[in-house]
Amino acid sequence: MTALSGKQPSLQERHYPFMPSKEELKAKVCLEIDKRSSEIIEMAKNIGENPETGFREVKTARLVAEKFAALGLTYGDGLALTGVKAVLPCTGEGPTVAVLGELDSLIVPDHPLADPKTGAAHACGHHGQIGMLIGSAIGILGARIADYLSGRIVFMAVPAEEYIEIGFRDELRKSGKITYLAGKQELIKLGQFDDIDMAMMTHSLSIPGDKKIVVGGTSNGMVAKQVRFIGRSAHAGSSPHQGINALNAAMIALNAINSQRETFRDQDAIRVHPIITRGGETVNIVPADVRMETYVRGRTMNAIQSANGKVDRCLRAGALAVGGKVGITTLPGYSPMMNNEILQDVYYKNAVLLLGESAIIQSYGHMAGSTDMGDVSQIMPAIHSYAGGTSGITHGNDFLIRDYEQAVLVPAKIMAMTVIDLLADGAAKAREIKENSTPLLSKEQYISSMNGLLREAEYAD
Ligand SMILES: [Zn+2]
Ligand SMILES: [Zn+2]
């Protein structure tokens, strides 16, 4: 007969008798974020007032690097031109969890916070994301919780999520400065995701009603296209018959693309939305060099490829009609987003802990926009959630963060709490996610599929 009764202490309790619970760690982190809330909000606002577009986020990256240094984090910068990545090793061994934030802005010249010289403006709320990233780093480091976790935490500010200024970026590609036109794609290729096992981020969004966080859902993938119609210049008044009008070729192509829309199936969520980036030189010359950019988005890569073939046909039809030429560069765009269910569930439960169930939308269904977080989600467990606290139309000239507590501090807390759930208890949850998730593609398969999408061709009649 034994005198011992009751529960035996666990291995962890014997080795770390004063190990705080996950709930205690979460409370400490949230307290730290609250204590330094004005510093975090100030940083987000500062970036909001100093917008920079993708691969040009020099000042924004410097601010992030300075903050990482002040937190005592070891970091690398200049990654994919402007990315900044800090690594925090925890006490025990375990997987590496990354928290990401996007550095870049859009170009919306009539936005109230637009840069007067460049027209750059944060009309997608990425300044809030950097606030969240720094907020979660401040919470985790300030509360000194890494001693109780296993694995590593990566805080990474990533460049160029908005797939814009395609001409400028394609020049960067041609000069060998980048291989792909978006930040996370380029970081994957450069090996900056090689030491990461799973990744999360939260994006700003205009969320309808009184909801505050959206988790789940899928989003479109896409290819991007740069198109150049080549004609012949001539006097527009006295001798247009000697010219070949490249603008007319472009307009015929646009109409031809519009004629395809009835063939796009609803379930494929195809979006084709070209813009003309150059329409001619002077009004008295027949336009000889007209340029367009477009995406072809869709729910699956097969649907995208099918629609892309139709778009190419239409572009060639424009050139054929006027007797000109068309150069078409098709660039690998984004992969469809797939949220990892287990990781998402951890995030969701922390959102519920902070805000209650009624404030969360658990699945938004399919979104026809695209993100290069989709690319990350092809090669590792990843989640891309959304936080409210904004007003106006996303990508519109009225999109603003109105409530920084909701848009920045709350998601910073949720992500820091999620890191705790993943890496506490010897990183049991992170290990479970790794063991139960098979990425759709290896990094090598991803790179080869990206390279397979690149096409450069010139067509004449
Ligand atoms: Zn955007
Ligand atoms: Zn965005």
Same fold, 16-219+336-446 and 221-333: no
Burial of 141 (0-12, 13-18, 19+ CB in 10 A): buried
| 216 Cβ contact partners less than 8 Å away, ≥ 6 residues apart | 339, 344, 348, 362, 363, 364, 385
Q: Which ligand is nearest to the CA of 128?
A: 2
Q: Rounded distance, CA 217 to CA 386, Å?
A: 10
H-helix or E-strand spanning residue 297:
strand 289-298
| Residue closest to 127 by CA, chosen among 61, 62, 43 | 43
Residues flanking ion ligand 1, Cβ below 5 Å? 124
Q: How far is the CA of 124 from the centre of ligand 1 (A)?
A: 5
Write down the number of H helices and E strands in the chain.
14, 20
pLDDT of 412 > 70? The answer is yes
Q: How far is the CA of 371 from the centre of ligand 1 (A)?
A: 8
As a whole number, mean pLDDT of residues 124-150 equals: 97
The Cα angle at residue 417 between residues 414 and 422, in degrees rounded to 5:
120
Instruction: Identify the pLDDT of residue 3.
Output: 44
Under the banding of pLDDT at 50, 70 and 90, the label for residue 8 is: low
Amino acid sitting at position 246: A
Q: Rounded distance, CA 148 to CA 157, Å?
A: 25
| Residue closest to 453 by CA, chosen among 147, 223, 174, 121 | 223
As a whole number, mean pLDDT of residues 332-351 equals: 96
Q: How far is the CA of 104 from the centre of ligand 1 (A)?
A: 9
Q: How far is the CA of 220 from the centre of ligand 1 (A)?
A: 13
Biggest distance spanned by C-alpha atoms of the chain? 113
Q: How far is the CA of 268 from the centre of ligand 2 (A)?
A: 22
- Look up residue 331 and give its two tokens: 């660039």
Under the banding of pLDDT at 50, 70 and 90, the label for residue 147 is: very high
Q: How far is the CA of 120 from the centre of ligand 2 (A)?
A: 14
Instruction: Identify the pLDDT of residue 2.
Output: 41
Q: How far is the CA of 455 from the centre of ligand 1 (A)?
A: 25
Instruction: Identify the pLDDT of residue 4.
Output: 44
Q: How far is the CA of 203 from the centre of ligand 2 (A)?
A: 7
Query: Is CATH 3.30.70.360 the right assignment for the domain spanning 221-333?
Result: yes
Q: How far is the CA of 124 from the centre of ligand 2 (A)?
A: 5
Instruction: Identify the pLDDT of residue 209.
Output: 80
List phi, psi (to 5°) of 413: -65, -45
The full set of domain ranges for the chain reads: 16-219+336-446, 221-333
> CATH fold of 16-219+336-446, please?
Aminopeptidase (3.40.630)
SS3 content of the chain, % helix, strand, coil (to 5): 40, 25, 35
Q: How far is the CA of 410 from the centre of ligand 1 (A)?
A: 20
Instruction: Identify the pLDDT of residue 208.
Output: 79
pLDDT of 1 > 70? The answer is no
Residues flanking ion ligand 2, Cβ below 5 Å? 124
- Look up residue 130 and give its two tokens: 């950097």
Instruction: Identify the pLDDT of residue 364.
Output: 79
Q: Which ligand is nearest to the CA of 373?
A: 2
Q: Rounded distance, CA 405 to CA 399, Å?
A: 17
Q: How far is the CA of 379 from the centre of ligand 2 (A)?
A: 21
Instruction: Specify the pTM.
Output: 0.93
Q: Checking phi first, is residue 332 left (phi over 0); if not, alpha (psi -120 to 50) or beta? A: beta
Q: How far is the CA of 86 from the centre of ligand 2 (A)?
A: 22
Q: How far is the CA of 94 from the centre of ligand 2 (A)?
A: 31
Q: Rounded distance, CA 106 to CA 164, Å?
A: 8
pLDDT of 250 > 70? The answer is yes
pLDDT of 249 > 70? The answer is yes
Whose structure tokens read 């790794």?
434
First to last CA, the chain: 96
Strands of 299-414, DSSP E: 325-332, 360-361, 366-367, 382-387, 390-391, 400-401
As a whole number, mean pLDDT of residues 66-90 equals: 98
Q: How far is the CA of 194 from the centre of ligand 1 (A)?
A: 26
Alpha helices in 237-283 (DSSP H): 246-259
pLDDT of 17 > 90? The answer is no
Count other Cβ atoms within 10 Å, centred on residue 279: 14
Radius of gyration of the chain (CA): 25
- Decide: 43 and 59 in contact? Cβ < 8 Å: no
Amino acid sitting at position 100: L
- Decide: 284 and 237 in contact? Cβ < 8 Å: yes
Q: How far is the CA of 360 from the centre of ligand 2 (A)?
A: 20
Q: To the nearest 10°, the Cα dihedral for 228, 234, 236, 238? A: -160
Instruction: Identify the pLDDT of residue 5.
Output: 45
Q: How far is the CA of 161 from the centre of ligand 2 (A)?
A: 7
Q: How far is the CA of 431 from the centre of ligand 2 (A)?
A: 30
Instruction: Identify the pLDDT of residue 7.
Output: 55
pLDDT of 278 > 50? The answer is yes
As a whole number, the mean pLDDT across the chain is 95
pLDDT of 166 > 50? The answer is yes
Q: How far is the CA of 162 from the centre of ligand 1 (A)?
A: 6
Q: How far is CA 39 from CA 32, 51, 114, 358, 414, in A?
A: 11, 19, 23, 30, 18
Q: How far is the CA of 436 from the centre of ligand 1 (A)?
A: 31
Q: How far is the CA of 126 from the centre of ligand 2 (A)?
A: 6
Count other Cβ atoms within 10 Å, centred on residue 179: 17
Give the relative orientation of helices 37-49 and 58-70 as an angle to the nearest 10 degrees: 160
Strands of 299-440, DSSP E: 325-332, 360-361, 366-367, 382-387, 390-391, 400-401
pLDDT of 329 > 80? The answer is yes
